[in-house]
Amino acid sequence: MFKAAVGHGIDPDSYGAVTEALAQCQQSLGEDIPQAGIVIAAIDFEHVKILEHIRSVYPDIVLVGGTSVGEMSSTLAFQQDSLTIMLFCSDEVTFSAGVGRQADKDELSAARSAIDSALDGQAPNDIKLCYALGEGLGVDGVALVQGLRDATHQSVPIIGGLTADDYRFESTYQFFGTEVLQNAVVVLTFFGNLKVSYGVATGQQPTGHKATVTRSESYTLYEIDGQPAKSFYAPYFGDQEVKSAASSAWIGAIAVYEPGAEDFYLRAPNGETGSDGSINYFGHVPESATIQVTEMNRESLLQSAQEAFDKAKAAYPGTLPSAALMVSCASRMKNLGTQVKKEYQLAEELVGKGLPNMGFYAYGEISPFTDQTTSHFHNETFTALLLGTQ
């Protein structure tokens, strides 16, 4: 048995929201007692109060979570300024949580510490799924994912995202038990008879000529084909438009193909870095990678939610998943504007209204490509996860 229950509260009062969400979960669970849970909450809630109340109802529950820009669930579809919870109970799957602190100082060490504390004596290759949430500001998502990969077996899929704060870009929070943290990474690990599948889609199409990254460091891309990075954009946006394109998370994204790879992940530019023509991105762009600019429209963005779940459904190794988790990018939400509700509606059409599901809008997404287990840090991407035991 593997059961997931979802609750979603929209009461602006923290106690009211968590009480509302837990009541919905309890209705689904019946007499079953959950062993683990994921909590996603808007930034303005009293998060400690929420976590302490869940623990008062379920004293032994393993909890992780974090803050978001927007929330999605099979209970209330898309909402903002809300609280959503997914609780798990099973006699075939066990759960453990871990935390790594001071990720702003050393992402690799923090990520490794999170996995080490979650293992609790078990071997890294015993993990069937790692759900990870990390600090969304001032932390290198690529290094964070690399640390998680280093501490797990190469066959372990890592899914999740970076926490958010409603576009304020001031502070995001991660939840571990009843602790509300900053600059941390938290993980929920699943062991036992668990089946998982996943899909990613962007809705953005690579276009134009392919180029090679010849010099990059950390967030900064200095040279493309031996020329300043800024010059790469000139044929597409013109000299006057490059800065505008590169300073927005939803314009000027590039498709990045690592050497030998057929799939690409997106990197969104975060602005120029001075007179040398270099450009900062929301994540490292590795040297020797092949890149292309991308183009998209709102319709393609919306359809990518279905595309991600279509990939996950086709790859599911069993017959009937028990739950779905999704993470979409905050920049997608911004770009979709008033149509953002349709993203969840289209996803639900494909995954089915009867399947418990939950998701949130993040400052970066974590997932492998379908049929692979090596996870990557993504920008401007919709990620879908199916899990169950049947």
Phi and psi based region of residue 309 (left: phi greater than 0; alpha: psi -120 to 50; beta: remaining)? alpha
Say what the pLDDT of residue 240 is: 57
> Please, what sign has the CA dihedral across residues 269, 270, 271, 277?
negative
- Checking if the pLDDT of 33 tops 70, the result is yes
Give the span between the Cα atoms of 240 and 249, in whole angstroms: 18
N- to C-terminal Cα separation, the chain: 9
| Mean pLDDT, residues 179-194 taken together | 97
Q: What is the pTM of this model?
A: 0.95
Under a CB-based contact definition with an 8 Å cutoff, are residues 159 and 130 in contact? yes
Say what the pLDDT of residue 285 is: 94
Say what the pLDDT of residue 234 is: 84
Identify the residue with better confidence: 247 or 23.
23
Give the span between the Cα atoms of 162 and 144, in whole angstroms: 10
Phi and psi based region of residue 132 (left: phi greater than 0; alpha: psi -120 to 50; beta: remaining)? beta
CA 56 to chain centroid, in Å, comes to 28
- The β-bridge relationship of strands 62-68 and 36-42 is parallel
CA angle 66, 322, 336 (to 5 degrees): 50
Strands (E) located in 300-381: 323-329, 357-362, 365-368, 375-378
| Mean pLDDT, residues 330-346 taken together | 92
> Can you tell me which residue has the tokens 């048995």?
1
> Can you tell me which residue has the tokens 């010099």?
215
- Checking if the pLDDT of 143 tops 80, the result is yes
What's the one-letter identity of residue 291?
I
% of the chain surpassing 70 pLDDT: 96
Q: How confident is the model at residue 115 (pLDDT cuts 50, 70, 90)?
A: very high
CB atoms within 10 A of CB 12: 12
> Rounded mean pLDDT of the chain?
93
